[in-house]
Structure 1
Amino acid sequence: MKGATAAVAAGIAMVCAVAFLEAPGDRPVHPFPTVGVLMANGEHWCTASVVDSPKGNVVATAAHCVAPAGEDGVPGEVAHDGLAIGELSFAPAFSGEGSGSQPLGVWKVRSVHVDERWTKWGDDTADFAFLTIEPDEDGRSVQDAVGGKSEAPAPDWTSGYEREVTVIGYPESEHNPQNKPVSCTTQTRHDLDDPAMLYISCSGFWTGTSGSPWIADRGGTGQPGRLIGVLSGGDTDVDSTAALYDEKAKALYERAAKG
């Protein structure tokens, strides 16, 4: 539900397009290898990210990216934009014009886990989902492919509303023809319109960034931080909200982790 309306950038936080560097031997270094594009029928649909799990098989995104919102207890029939969601896959560290490159592979989504508060009532405070990812043909997990525990943030089920977070997302190609992630490190707070939701002000988070991870305590490689939620909505590219993870989010995660 991330809006695509242009707005004047707020000056209180930094947003940047992330470049892929070259290491010795021309091996690409991915600054956020756990974050990538969630694809529907092979097309950029949302953003998603690997979260630390016992089997290394869990990816986090927004509920509205993978399940229609319900209303008055009745499940919805189509996605938020009126389209069918399609077959889902995940491409971490995706970049490049057009179809781009998938340097860490394309991973099939085995199952989707969403709170019924979303699927029956469209409750924004439950706009989070966890996906179980199939291993590759060699039996390797997606978490191993992106760098293991040194890169994947652990989930935080008891976070407060005021945290410094790094948010990473993939805007759609209309605003991001190189398909590079944008990132912002800033302070969260209660959303004024809905105090139950987290809020940040960072420019550049256009349509396509729904599901972007909100990572607290990130310190780089070896200090992956704590995942406290994912980008849920926002009326402009500057204003973004997230549902704070809670015990019901934990139950979904544990279900996804069982595989």
Structure 2
Amino acid sequence: MTVAVATAALMLLGGPLPVAGADGSGTARAADGWSAREAEAFWTPERMASAEPVTPGVPGTRAAKAGIGENFDGIPVVGRMFVMQGGGAYFCTASVVASPGHDLVLSAAHCLLGPDSRQVAFVPRYTRAKPRPYGMFPVLRGTNGRPKVWIDPRYPREGPDRAATVDAAFAQVGPDAEGWRVQDVVGANRLVTGATYTHARVELIGYPATSARPRRCHNRTTKFTSTDPGIPGSFLRIDCTGYPGGTSGGPFLAHYDPQTGTGEVVGVIGGWKTGGTTPDTSYSSYFGKEIRKLYETAVAGARGA
């Protein structure tokens, strides 16, 4: 945590305090031993830099009338979600979503679905030059030893095509090595469900596997209804250039405020074809009552941790 953020937090009456560890110290430790310090020791800058996207990239093509993407230094509420699956190190994009426990992050279900997902950790505003500017937040584990991730049960049961309309996942992260909760350190986006498919302006942020920095673009969204009976449903669609593998889980931010670096998250890259078939057009599941119910389930589950 930066000195500026810590000072601002302590100036707030009744503001956020470090979450104490089991030994009464300010160093947080997950019940099963997967603490922030262990996550930092495991996810070295070299291992993070070598991680591959959970889903492979697609050949570069340019869509007509697409918004123009550009690489930038990122914003604190968006980062990389690192995960070990099988024998490899992988990543997707994730973002902090406001919650009562100040400890939830949002990504795509297809990023965190793996039955052997382990050593999962969120790094806000990751870049190769500054791999841990706000620390590292380990995804907590449940009593079964699995990461505390909430995915609609239809997604693993029916698969990424039949259940493409619910391609979203919430994960509970523990405090960083200094005991701070993620939302208290970097802020959070507000989850919005039941809105329109068409937004006049959405900020799209993701982490391409081909870049050392994240990517941003803004454009309008449209409603896309699949004609493929194997992938039923309607989705948000946005034209933004240069979003290959690694950007899955990146937030669709409506009413983005550059002063606070936050907005209203109305989708994440995923859904139809787990986000699309070209890097210049991205999709998201529609955030309706199913995603709201999933969020409420995650909030209740995190509260009971």
Whether TM exceeds 0.5 here: the answer is yes
Alignment of 1:152-163 (within 5 A): 152-163=188-199
Corresponding residue SS for 2:185:
helix
- Offset from partner CA, 1:123-172 (integer Å, 9 cap, x none): 000100011111224431111121x3xxx210001111001210100011
Q: What is residue 4 of structure 1 aligned with on the other side?
A: 58
Alpha-carbon distance in structure 1 between the residues aligned to 2:222 and 2:194: 15
Larger fraction in strand: 1
How far is the alpha carbon of 1:3 from its aligned partner?
4.2
Report whether the alignment pairs 1:66 with 2:98.
no
Structure 1 residues 51-60 or 133-142, which shifts more? 133-142
TM-score with structure 2 setting the length: 0.68
Q: 1:103 to 1:223 in 2, by over 3 A?
A: closer
Are the counterparts in 1 of residues 149 and 171 from structure 2 also a CA contact under 8 Å? yes
TM-score with structure 1 setting the length: 0.80
Alpha-carbon distance in structure 2 between the residues aligned to 1:101 and 1:209: 17
Of 236, 260, 263 in structure 2, the residue corresponding to residue 198 of structure 1 is: 236
Higher relative contact order (CA 8 A, sep 6+): 1
Alpha-carbon distance in structure 2 between the residues aligned to 1:186 and 1:228: 14
Of 272, 278, 291 in structure 2, the residue corresponding to residue 249 of structure 1 is: 291
Structure 1 residues 194-203 or 232-241, which shifts more? 194-203
Report whether the alignment pairs 1:33 with 2:76.
yes
> Counterpart of 1:12 in structure 2: which amino acid?
A
Are the counterparts in 2 of residues 50 and 59 from structure 1 also a CA contact under 8 Å? yes
- Offset from partner CA, 1:55-107 (integer Å, 9 cap, x none): 21010000000115xxxxxxxx6xxxxxx53321111110016xx61111111
Report whether the alignment pairs 1:184 with 2:193.
no
Q: 1:2 to 1:125 in 2, by over 3 A?
A: farther
Give the share of equivalent positions with the same residue, in percent. 32
How far is the alpha carbon of 1:252 from its aligned partner?
1.9
Report whether the alignment pairs 1:13 with 2:67.
yes
Q: What is residue 46 of structure 1 aligned with on the other side?
A: 92
- Offset from partner CA, 1:211-253 (integer Å, 9 cap, x none): 0000101122347221111000110111211001122211221
Count of aligned residue pairs for this structure pair: 224
Ranges in structure 2 where 5+ consecutive residues have no aligned partner: 1-54, 141-147, 228-232
Greater Rg, structure 1 or structure 2? Answer: 2
Point out 4+ residue stretches in structure 1 off by more than 6 angstroms. Answer: none
Ranges in structure 1 where 5+ consecutive residues have no aligned partner: 21-30, 69-76, 78-83
> Counterpart of 1:6 in structure 2: which amino acid?
G
> Counterpart of 1:4 in structure 2: which amino acid?
V
How far is the alpha carbon of 1:191 from its aligned partner?
1.9
Are the counterparts in 2 of residues 10 and 202 from structure 1 also a CA contact under 8 Å? no
> Counterpart of 2:257 in structure 1: which amino acid?
G
Report whether the alignment pairs 1:208 with 2:239.
no
